[in-house]
Amino acid sequence: MCARLLHRPSYLANLAIGLHGGCGTLARGLQSEAEWRETREHLAQALRAGWRLLIAGGSALDAVQACVVALEDSPHFNAGYGAALNEAAEHELDASIMDGATLAAGAVCAVRRVRNPVLAARAVLDDGQAVLLTGPAADDFAAARGLAMVEPGYFTTPRRVEALRVQKARAAAGTAAQSSEAERHGTVGAVARDRQGHLAAATSTGGFNNKPRGRVGDTPIVGAGTYARDGVCAVSCTGQGEIFMRRVAAYDLAARILYGGQALAAAADEMVFTTLRNHGIGAGLVALGATGNPVAPFNTLGMARGWIAIDGELTVATHRELHALGPA
């Protein structure tokens, strides 16, 4: 155990937070180093947003929400501002959030006007009448609760317009299946453990480029793309959502730990490198257990990710190389 952790107050030693920005990371040469630096800085900013709440005694639920809001506001990730466009050149956004202490959850799918879909998901959780709200009704629900609303064009960036053009061209040529993970998918998510040992997870996405209108993936499906249960794990997934739904992947990870007796890291590695890889898909996740540090396995070229470990040290990455940024 490092000296820094030994000198931390005991009530802070349990804290940890992790995030991912999707396993569809571009090849390094497709962006400038300045763009990669900015991506890593946005990851760090998101982690710090959640960490500030945790060290002040805030809940894991509030921490993952703050983390995902920051990622939704960044153009570098496929969630909120900068989200993917569907086949009709429209945005249909999904998000979910889950409290490991109570198993309460909230989710929205196919929203088009709420600026931060994860806040709409949290409002569904807090309202308690439903777990999942859809489409215009979910947008209306968010507006009625005073959340910031935008015109759909707010989410559009030149990068996503170009990505849609490329995917439509591939579809016309019959080569869509050859698209890289970066050309197709993208998601953001966060997991956290607070001072009381409670866990939480949240996930948000724009889906995949050129997706069918009305398509909903695993992100807003509790147990598929997002799951949290105190004493077991919190997990947020990224990859081809249809497979994650069919495998009930997020809950499967928890079951491997709870019923199968696996350690978190072993269960997460088996899920990503064996179970999901056997479906021929790129996949990744970030997960956190009842104790210890986050894990973030992925089987693709890269996965934007980061964590603040129990020693308070902050690390971010986009590809294999890790960037240690020192104390949070």
Q: Determine the pLDDT at residue 170.
A: 85
Q: Which of 187, 203, 226, 300 is catalytic?
A: 187
What confidence tens digit (pLDDT) does each residue in 136-193 have?
999 999 999 999 999 999 999 998 999 899 889 988 888 766 666 655 668 999 999 9
Give the distance, in angstroms, between the CA of residue 309 and the centroid of all CA atoms in the same chain: 18
Give 150's contacts (C-beta < 8 A, 6+ positions apart): 113, 114, 115
**94 by DSSP, 3-state: which?**
strand
Mean pLDDT of the chain: 93
For the chain, the structural domain boundaries read 13-319
* The pLDDT of residue 3 is above 70: no
**What share of the chain has pLDDT > 70, as a percent?**
93
Region 299-312: mean pLDDT is 96
The per-residue pLDDT for 31 is 79
CATH number of 13-319: 3.60.20.30
Q: Are 77 and 304 in contact (CB under 8 A)?
A: yes
pLDDT of residue 173: 84
Q: What is the pLDDT of residue 7?
A: 55
Range name among 39-43, 50-54, 156-160, 243-247 with the lowest pLDDT average? 156-160
Confidence of residue 6 (pLDDT cuts 50, 70, 90): very low
pLDDT of amino acid 32: 85
Which DSSP state fits 225?
T
Residue 95 and residue 222 in contact, taking contact as beta carbons nearer than 8 Å: no
Residue pair 283/276 in contact (Cβ under 8 Å)? The answer is yes
In the chain, the percentage of residues whose pLDDT exceeds 90 is 86
Say yes or no to pLDDT of 1 above 60: no
Q: Which amino acid is at 210?
A: N
- Over residues 59-91, the pLDDT tens digits come to 999 999 999 999 999 999 999 999 999 999 999
Helix axes 135-144 and 117-127, enclosed angle (nearest 10)? 80
Does the annotation count 187 as an active-site position? yes
d(CA 254, CA 141): 31
Which amino acid is present at 58? G
**Residue 5 pLDDT grade (very low, low, confident, very high; cuts 50, 70, 90):** very low
DSSP state of 65: H
Q: Would you state the pLDDT for residue 11?
A: 62
The predicted pLDDT at position 27 comes to 78
Q: Which of 41-55, 159-173, 290-304 has the lowest mean pLDDT?
A: 159-173
Q: What separation in angstroms does the CA of 157 have from each of 70, 89, 163, 231?
A: 17, 12, 10, 40
Considering only CA atoms, which of 222, 188, 189, 200 is closest in space to residue 60? 200
Mean pLDDT, rounded, for 114-118: 98
Structure tokens that stand for 179 in this block: 């698209």
